[in-house]
Structure 1
Amino acid sequence: MSTPNHRWIPGEGIDTDALARLRAHFRRPKEAMGEAWFTSEERRMFDELLPGVANLSITELRPPLEEIISGTSSFGPQPEWTQWYHYLLAELLPRGHESDYESLFEYLASGFFVTYPGQIAEPYPGYRDDVFATMGRYLMGAERWSESQRLAGEILLRPGAHQDGRWAWTLLSREFSAAAFFCAKYLLPEEIGPWMKSMLTIDSAHWNAQVMQWLYGAHGMLIGDVVSPVGWKSSSWPNVTWAWHHVLRGDYKTSYLERNKAGRPFLPAENRAAILRAVAETVTIERYFSWLDAMKNHAELQDELLGIPSGFAEVYRIGTPD
């Protein structure tokens, strides 16, 4: 197995060998998984998963994924949900882009967050590396990039353009946010710096616009004002949410009714500090203005980003001496 590469490099998406290992270790369970509603007279079982998921649509796949997320976050892990989640993760990652407003990747990310509220346990040796080589590199797929540039209308946006032609660049891609928080949560502190530098040095105006939005919207969590995604307010702006973020916490030892009580932070303190340090070291005033200059060539960014660039610069004190 090659040395793990946790950097974001356009064109280096899901590693097929790592995906094959995931699929080899996580075979389809022989018994159906059930819903998270244990008190009903007849518990719903997802028998439609038993023949395999290749021909199931996102509409058919969403309910079992929702049950895994809601059930695990409310009642704790159950073997059937954990087994089925691992199988679905390995099978569905290449289909992560499929969406009917919320993408499969968002559901897979939230499923991972509830399955591994702390660091990643290893069901088999090398599992962590395989997860980062697949899920961790999801956004970097070659089909989404052309000479390090964003493909118009692809991946960085919620599905579909507005009817008036705007691409709504004030809306952060849900997939971007889920993928970024995945790395921010599970990378080791010493791995954060190289990953962040790789994110911050990709040469693409549209990508940099999304990076600024994510860092601006995530700032409250990075400085410790927000403990977990469940604490984000619906009015927060920029919005950095994704499917089922509203149940995600740093641990599930307290009940869902106590979800707003302080608990283990969603992001480790060392990782939060490493992200802030990487931004301070990499986003110099020169880089910040080069981003703005590049965005001037794209009317949609000029017209729609509004106060995001200035807000980002203010909270991260870009160009301000320590």
Structure 2
Amino acid sequence: MPSTPQAYRWIPGQGPDAGALQRLRERAPRPKKPMGEAWFMGGERAMYTGLMQPDPQAWSRRELDDALDALTSGPRCFDHSDEWSEWFDFLLPRILERADDGDSYELLVTAVFVHCLDPALPGRDPRFRRDLLDTLGRRLMAPACWSDAHPDDHDRLLRPLGSGFYAIDPGHAISAACCLVLRYLDEESIDGWIASVLTIDDAAWRCAFVVWLAGAAPLLFDGQQPEHMHNPTYLDIGWDGHWLLDGSIPSRTLDPNAPQFAFFGDAQRQALLASLQQRLDLATMLRWGEALAECPIPECDRTTTLWQYDAAVLVVIERYDLS
């Protein structure tokens, strides 16, 4: 008989799993040849030779950024390349081991969507999916993201409240992480994940998740791809590189006949709906809004931010058919 999937939870303080990170490393040894740039015209192609150094901490930040951008944007415009796929697998766990991994997080998630275009992950080791979710998928749960010991020690990757006109920020790393988990988590585990997300006792986090749900509705219910999201500013859930994702490789703007995959599978969508309809309602979201009013929001942005949350609640009630 098939085994029951292990429960998947988001729990503050329980970040990337060391064992899963090690398995990702072991599956992807360093490629024999350096990776080259995606965008060049004539002359000699630039190669990222510095990434051949065995210690990821010694890699140049600029060279790493350029390589990650190339292997993420390259397939969209130039089709699949084994070179980029090998380097994606190699860089994924090693970026997560760097002290400055938060600088790459959003684009690294986008790279996953590019190189794991088929959510079924054909040809991958059966444990790859869970190892991906237990590492990159749990990055926002790292202890430093939730520590208030000292402002300089706080991991700024997680920022549910900003200082803009609409202070609730469900985009960037939060949106990237939520999209990653919902896209690749097996449907049987989605209810447990949602239960853990809603249990996190942090007013800013809860309100950001509600706004994310509202902003994600076009991806879930209207068949949109991240490239074509047209949310209003107060429901902006964009992250670095989301504009590269149209569900096909190469982009359908280059090859109209390229196979296209829905961003979220129907089974994941149905499981999410069932979980939210069981666990979330208007009364709960209104209580969360009252807690949001006590959060440290700049006075000049308070009225618009509270309106932002209320507007998102109305969208969630309607699109997810909640009571």
Instruction: Indicate whether 1:86 and 2:103 are aligned.
Output: no
Instruction: Indicate whether 1:138 and 2:105 are aligned.
Output: no
C-alpha change, 1:152 and 1:55, in structure 2 (3 Å) is closer
Tell me how many residue pairs correspond in the alignment: 310
Instruction: Indicate whether 1:128 and 2:126 are aligned.
Output: no
Partner amino acid, structure 2, of 1:288: M
Separation in 1 of the partners of 2:317 and 2:123? Answer: 39
Instruction: Indicate whether 1:64 and 2:62 are aligned.
Output: no
Aligned counterpart for 1:156 among listed residues 146, 155, 158:
158
Match of 1:219 in 2: 217
C-alpha change, 1:193 and 1:82, in structure 2 (3 Å) is same
Does the 8 A contact of 1:227 with 1:262 survive in 2? no
Match of 1:313 in 2: 313
Deviations along 1:3-27, one digit per CA (max 9) or x if unpaired, are: 7442111111100111111112211
C-alpha change, 1:265 and 1:153, in structure 2 (3 Å) is same
Separation in 1 of the partners of 2:267 and 2:67? Answer: 34
C-alpha change, 1:54 and 1:3, in structure 2 (3 Å) is farther
Separation in 1 of the partners of 2:259 and 2:167? Answer: 33
Separation in 2 of the partners of 1:43 and 1:321? Answer: 54
Instruction: Indicate whether 1:9 and 2:11 are aligned.
Output: yes
Partner amino acid, structure 1, of 2:144: E
Deviations along 1:31-79, one digit per CA (max 9) or x if unpaired, are: 0111224763422211121114322243331110111011122233211
C-alpha change, 1:29 and 1:130, in structure 2 (3 Å) is same
Separation in 2 of the partners of 1:320 and 1:70? Answer: 37
Deviates more, 1:10-19 or 1:294-303: 294-303
Separation in 2 of the partners of 1:3 and 1:321? Answer: 27
Separation in 2 of the partners of 1:257 and 1:36? Answer: 16
Separation in 2 of the partners of 1:321 and 1:135? Answer: 30
Deviations along 1:79-123, one digit per CA (max 9) or x if unpaired, are: 111111111101011348645xxx301111011110011122454
Q: How does 1:211-250 map to 2 (within 5 A)?
A: 211-224=209-222, 226-233=223-230, 236-250=233-247
C-alpha change, 1:320 and 1:35, in structure 2 (3 Å) is closer
Match of 1:176 in 2: 174
Q: Which secondary structure state, in structure 1, belongs to the residue aligned with residue 297 of structure 2? A: helix
Deviates more, 1:308-317 or 1:84-93: 308-317
Deviates more, 1:10-19 or 1:122-131: 122-131
Deviates more, 1:166-175 or 1:208-217: 166-175
Separation in 1 of the partners of 2:201 and 2:322? Answer: 26
C-alpha change, 1:5 and 1:95, in structure 2 (3 Å) is farther
Match of 2:185 in 1: 187
Q: How does 1:189-208 map to 2 (within 5 A)?
A: 189-208=187-206
Instruction: Indicate whether 1:114 and 2:111 are aligned.
Output: no
Does the 8 A contact of 1:212 with 1:312 survive in 2? yes
Give the C-alpha shift of residue 190 in structure 1.
2.0
Instruction: Indicate whether 1:293 and 2:290 are aligned.
Output: yes
Partner amino acid, structure 2, of 1:91: R
Aligned counterpart for 1:19 among listed residues 21, 39, 44:
21
Does the 8 A contact of 1:170 with 1:238 survive in 2? no
Does the 8 A contact of 1:212 with 1:308 survive in 2? no
C-alpha change, 1:236 and 1:204, in structure 2 (3 Å) is same
Partner amino acid, structure 1, of 2:274: R
Separation in 2 of the partners of 1:6 and 1:276? Answer: 17
RMSD of Structure 2 on Structure 1 (CA): 3.2
Tell me the TM-score normalised to structure 1 length: 0.84
Give the C-alpha shift of residue 125 in structure 1.
4.2
Tell me the TM-score normalised to structure 2 length: 0.84
Separation in 2 of the partners of 1:41 and 1:223? Answer: 47
C-alpha change, 1:124 and 1:317, in structure 2 (3 Å) is closer
Give the C-alpha shift of residue 240 in structure 1.
0.7
Instruction: Indicate whether 1:282 and 2:285 are aligned.
Output: no
Does the 8 A contact of 1:6 with 1:136 survive in 2? no
C-alpha change, 1:156 and 1:169, in structure 2 (3 Å) is farther
Q: Which secondary structure state, in structure 2, belongs to the residue aligned with residue 267 of structure 1? A: coil
